[in-house]
């Protein structure tokens, strides 16, 4: 029985190495990198990954608040 476990572990190790090689090949062809969860992710420079999307109304409200804050500081 221990021989069977050893064979299975060796097979698992071999398959993991092969999967790693396939992941690297996919990443090389797609221009991305492979995470530990086996997903190919694009490498993007200068872009936030989890940036908040602001609607025009949100931007206008933020602008209005900032202008009010600047005016208040300018008076003081």
Q: What is the pLDDT of residues 30-69, one digit of tens each?
A: 776 555 555 555 555 555 566 678 899 999 999 999 999 9
Please give the pLDDT value at position 21: 86
Residue 11 has pLDDT above 90, yes or no: yes
pLDDT value for 75: 84
**Which pLDDT score, from 0 to 100, does residue 47 have?**
55
Q: What is the pLDDT of residue 63?
A: 96
Q: Which residues contact 24 (CB under 8 A, 6 or more apart)?
A: 34
Mean pLDDT of 18-39: 73
């Amino acid at each position: 029985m221990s021989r069977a476990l050893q064979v299975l572990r060796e097979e698992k190790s071999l398959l993991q190495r092969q999967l790693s090689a396939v992941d690297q090949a996919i990443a090389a062809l797609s221009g991305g990198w492979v995470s530990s969860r086996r997903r190919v992710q694009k490498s993007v420079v200068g872009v936030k990954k989890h940036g908040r999307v602001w609607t025009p109304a949100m931007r206008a409200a933020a602008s209005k608040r900032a202008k009010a804050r600047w005016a208040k500081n300018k008076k003081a």
